[in-house]
Amino acid sequence: MSERDVATPELPEALAIRQPRQKRSREAWQRVLDAGITLLESAGYGGFTIAALSDASGINPRAIYERASSKEALFLAVYEHKMAQMAIDRDHLFRAAHEPGLPPVAVIGRAVTAVLLLFERNAEFLRPVIAIAPEHRVVFERGKRHTALLGDMFVAALERTGLLTGDSTPAWQAFRAVYAMAVLRTMQGADFISPAPTFDEEITSATTMVDQYLRAK
Q: Answer whether 205's CB lies under 8 Å from 197's CB.
A: yes
CATH entry, 3-8+71-216, from 1.10.357.10, 1.10.3720.10, 1.10.10.1100, 1.10.1660.10: 1.10.357.10
**15 or 79, which is more confident:** 79
> What would the mean pLDDT of 64-68 be, rounded to a whole number?
85
> What would the mean pLDDT of 43-57 be, rounded to a whole number?
93
pTM of the predicted protein model? 0.89
- Beta-strand ranges (E) seen in the chain are none
Domain boundaries, the chain: 3-8+71-216, 18-67
Dist. CA 16–CA 149, nearest whole Å: 23
Half-sphere exposure of 164 (CA within 13 A, CB side): 18
State how far the alpha carbon of 85 is from the alpha carbons of 33, 90, 121, in Å. 12, 9, 12
Report domain 18-67's class: mainly alpha
pLDDT over 50 (residue 5)? no
Written as one string, the DSSP assignment of 124-184 is HHHHHHHHHGGG-HHHHHHHHHHHHHHHHHHHHHHHTTT---S--HHHHHHHHHHHHHHHH
